[in-house]
Amino acid sequence: MFLKVQLPWNVVIPAENLDAKGLMLQKAIVIRLMDEFATKKATKDLGYFLAVTTLDKVGEGKVRQNTGDVMFPVVFSGITFKLYRGEILEGVVHKVLKHGVLLRCGPVENIYLSSLKMPDYQHMPGENPLFLNDKSSKIEKDVVVRFIVIGTKWLEADREFQALVSLDGDYLGPIA
């Protein structure tokens, strides 16, 4: 799910960027904010950070005593993407394993669809391994699959999510 978020953050502008006035300061704040937004990558609550859309408010700067840097409290809006349990999404298969397949969905790289969660499909080993059901529907590399999210897990160290998904239900499966 894409989310529209509004966040209060603090942006620190180094002393050397403060010499020019007005517009230049505004620009420095925006650049610094975008930099921090990009560096953060994702959070557990909001998912993957995609873009800053607007800078809504810039508060009064406070000078930091030791460095002379100035810290500005800002409020900005942005767009994020997060997977939710029960959500219906589409993913692209990037690896076929014996017991299931790995998919990508937007910024999420590690989505696992276990063979237990696609009971009609049989694993067909070979040079290009794939999963096949009795209606000749194939799940192989680069196929787009519509699935339901069963669970997600936030990995703090990598700042990313993993997800488990299922095809158990009507209207789920490979998309032509």
Q: Which of residues 51-70 bind other proteins (CB under 8 A)?
A: 51, 53
Would you count residue 50 as binding other proteins (CB under 8 A)? yes
DSSP code per residue over 46-90: TEEEEEEEEEEEE---EE-TTT--EEEEEEEEEEEE---TT-EEE
Q: Among residues 50, 69, 52, 53, which one has the least CA distance to residue 61? A: 69
Choice between 35 and 122, CB closer to other proteins: 35
Query: Token pair of 13, please?
Result: 């502008």
Choice between 30 and 97, CB closer to other proteins: 30
Choice between 50 and 132, CB closer to other proteins: 50
Place of tokens 């300061």: 25
Query: Token pair of 70, please?
Result: 């100035």
Q: Which of residues 19-48 bind other proteins (CB under 8 A)?
A: 31, 34-35, 37-39, 41-42, 45-46, 48
Q: Which of 12, 69, 73, 106 binds other proteins (CB under 8 A)?
A: 106
Q: Which of 58, 146, 164, 174 binds other proteins (CB under 8 A)?
A: 146
Q: How many CA atoms lie within 13 A of 52 on its CB side?
A: 22
Per-residue binding letters, 147-166, with other proteins (x by CB under 8 A): -x-x---------------x
Q: Which of 55, 69, 71, 87 binds other proteins (CB under 8 A)?
A: 87
Please give the Cα distance from 151 to 113 (Å, whole number).
Answer: 11
Choice between 72 and 76, CB closer to other proteins: 76
| Residue 12 β-bridge partners | 71
Choice between 96 and 117, CB closer to other proteins: 117
Helix (H, G, I), strand (E, B) or coil at 151: strand
